[in-house]
Chain A
């Protein structure tokens, strides 16, 4: 059996045997879906698109999947920080594991959990959408592409968790990861239209969460804004209501993609470097 698989198996058990981890990774996203779908039940397609467009199934489901992934940072961070504080990490450092085996042994079980989360959120969301006038077509190319992109973005949250777990104590991980989770919830635009809060949007659009959520939503919708004219309808709608609104160059689809991928790659690289430094053997 490969050493990566042996370590991954241990880490998978460590996560899946923690009831709190199961609740936050799997139960909580289901609860979120149920909660937000309540806004859609009993409404016509036009009402959904005009009154509660935030919770349009093609926007809601990819956003909840990203939100679910954000909990990976909390539990991956706590796992590795606990392993460090209880010297389990040191025990592994003196074992015959190579640095890349070490890294993959921690990373892969979290990827598996991210995949299960995506399946759960997209599958359940698709099923729930059957109760609304807008069906979320699970096997359409756009939805499958959105699923894959959202799943790939989960590596950002895994890297973030492992990174802070290697840096701080298990108690501090909880606090730091919670900030990340809250930034996803508030700053990603999944629960509120950020364009209508210009000052807030100016800040959060420099973080990856808003872009990750928007990219997966846009892919699911098949909507790829290339210029500000793409938002003409929204801009006119909010102006008619007297609400100030902000759309700028950062709302172009490839800019969203670039920022999201940039953060993901940087954090992945940083995590690898930190693993490399934390697990190197000193006496040659």
Chain B
């Protein structure tokens, strides 16, 4: 079943084209990766998907509904590239705040579950500003999943993390796999290889390839994802 459908999504900032007729779909419960270098249009696509910026033309459907309906139903939530946490609140207060804001019925129980699931119990009374980068990312994800979204968007979740923290976060993301549809953007190829079921490659706002890693490698006649990515990304230049 298709969870998200992008149909000819185009975004112009005055004359500059940030996205050019991007079309693909994301299936239910898959972990879908959106790969691209800096400035490829990944964050623009995410911001359009969550209604923060308007699209110039095209359409996005979530479970066949508009984004506004999906927002209204609380289907979608995001862990932003910047942590998007309240720095002076404790870990528990941050998660409780979001749970209350979304009107979580069993708020306390949901918060406890999320603290457990993302291994945040030991730092629950610690202020967010005193957490390490890895824990701040975890908190950001916790704030997104406490609302029980059917679609979780992870915008560059491991950006700026050290190798150890990155692997810990990958482990956590893998543990969420299958429970919800995860739409992940990154420019780390190893992240795509380690986590994603399918991947789309964006370059200069244009969709260059969609499919499993094997399909993309076969299409680019490459042995590795890195070779395939380089072949696809440098093709137009």
Residues on A lying within 8 angstroms of B by beta carbon are 1, 3, 6-7, 9-10, 13-14, 17-18, 82, 85-88, 90-97, 281-284
B60 touches A88 (CB 8 A): no
Q: When the two chains form their complex, are residues A88 and B85 in contact, meaning their CB atoms are under 8 A apart? A: yes
> Among the listed A6, A82, A281, which residue makes an inter-chain contact with B68, where contact means beta carbons less than 8 Å apart?
A281
Q: Can you report 17 A-B residue pairs in the complex whose CB atoms are below 8 A from each other?
A: A6-B100, A13-B93, A14-B87, A14-B88, A86-B83, A87-B82, A90-B47, A90-B84, A91-B84, A94-B71, A96-B72, A96-B101, A97-B101, A283-B54, A283-B66, A283-B67, A283-B68
Q: Which residue of A lies closest to B47 (CB)?
A: A90
Residues of chain B contacted by A97 (CB below 8 angstroms): 101
Q: Is the CB of A10 within 8 A of B86?
A: yes
Q: Does B216 contact A (CB under 8 A)?
A: no
List the B side residues contacting A6 at CB < 8 Å: 97, 100-101
Interface residues of B (CB under 8 A from A): 47-48, 50-55, 60, 66-68, 71-72, 74, 76-78, 80-89, 93, 97-98, 100-103, 127, 143
With contacts A93-B52, A96-B74, A96-B103 known, is A87 near B81, CB below 8 A? yes
Contact between chains at A283 and B84 (CB < 8 Å)? no
Q: How far is the CB of A109 from chain B (nearest CB, A)?
A: 13
Give the chain A neighbours of B54 by CB distance below 8 A.
282-283
Report the separation of the CA atoms of residues A17 and B81 in the bound assembly, to the nearest whole angstrom: 25
Chain B residue nearest in CB terms to A5:
B100
Q: Which of A10, A82, A93, A97 gathers the greatest number of chain B CB atoms within 10 Å?
A: A10
Q: How far apart are A245's CB and chain B's nearest CB, in angstroms?
A: 49
Q: Tell me whether A95 and B98 are in contact (CB under 8 A).
A: yes
The answer to whether B93 touches A95 (Cβ under 8 A) is no
Whether A96 contacts B102 by the Cβ 8 Å rule is yes
A90-B68 CB under 8 A given contacts A13-B93, A96-B102: no
A284 and B66 contacting across the interface, CB-CB below 8 Å: yes
Q: Do A95 and B89 touch across chains, with their CB atoms under 8 A apart?
A: no
Q: Which 7 A-B pairs have the closest CB atoms?
A: A283-B67, A87-B84, A282-B54, A87-B80, A87-B82, A17-B88, A91-B84
B32 nearest CB across to chain A (Å): 19
Given contacts A13-B89, A94-B78, contact A86 B84 (CB under 8 A): yes
Partner of B86, one of A14, A93, A94, A95: A14
**Residue contact A95 to B102, C-beta cutoff 8 Å:** yes
Residue pair A10, B89 in contact (C-beta under 8 Å): yes
Q: Report the nearest B residue to A88, measured CB to CB.
A: B84
Closest beta carbon of chain B to A22's beta carbon, Å: 12
The minimal Cβ–Cβ distance linking B138 to chain A, given in whole angstroms, is: 15
Residues of B within 8 A of A1 (CB): 100
The answer to whether A94 and B100 have CB atoms under 8 Å apart is no
Question: Which A residues touch B67, using CB under 8 A?
Answer: 283
CA distance A17 to B87 in the complex (A): 10
Known contacts A95-B101, A97-B101; decide if A14 and B82 are in contact (CB<8 Å).
Answer: no
- The reply to whether B52 and A282 contact each other, CB–CB distance below 8 Å, is yes
Q: Flag if B101 contacts A3 (CB, 8 Å).
A: yes
Assess the A10–B85 pair: CB atoms within 8 A.
no
A90: chain B residues within 8 A (beta carbon): 47, 50, 52, 78, 80, 84
Closest CB in chain A relative to B61 CB, distance in Å: 10
Q: Which of A10, A87, A284 contacts B97 (CB under 8 A)? A: A10
Known: A87-B80, A96-B72, A281-B51. 16 other contacts (CB 8 A): A7-B101, A13-B86, A14-B89, A17-B127, A85-B82, A86-B84, A87-B81, A90-B47, A90-B52, A91-B80, A94-B71, A95-B102, A282-B48, A282-B51, A283-B67, A284-B68
Contacts A13-B88, A96-B72 hold; do A87 and B101 have CB atoms under 8 A apart?
no
A90 to chain B, nearest CB (A): 6
Are the CB atoms of A18 and B88 closer together than 8 Å?
Answer: yes
Find chain A residues with CB under 8 A from B52 CB: 90, 93-94, 282
Which residues of chain B come closer than 8 Å to A85, judged between CB atoms? Answer: 82
Contact A88 B71 (CB under 8 A): no
Contacts of B83 in A (CB 8 A): 86-87
Residue of A nearest to B94 (CB): A10
A284 to B68, CA, bound (A): 5
Q: Is the CB of B97 within 8 A of A94?
A: no
Nearest Cβ in chain B — how far from A39, in angstroms? 38
Q: How far is the CA of A164 from the CA of B109 in the complex (A)?
A: 39
Q: List residues of chain B with CB within 8 A of the CB of A82.
A: 87
Residue of A nearest to B144 (CB): A91
* Chain B residue with the shortest CB-CB distance to A95: B101
Q: Which residue of A lies closest to B59 (CB)?
A: A283
List chain A residues, Cβ under 8 A from B84: 86-88, 90-91
Contact status A94-B88, CB under 8 Å: no
Residue of B whose beta carbon sits closest to that of A17: B88
Closest approach, in angstroms, between the C-beta of A172 and any C-beta of chain B? 18
Measured CA separation A1–B78 after assembly (Å): 24
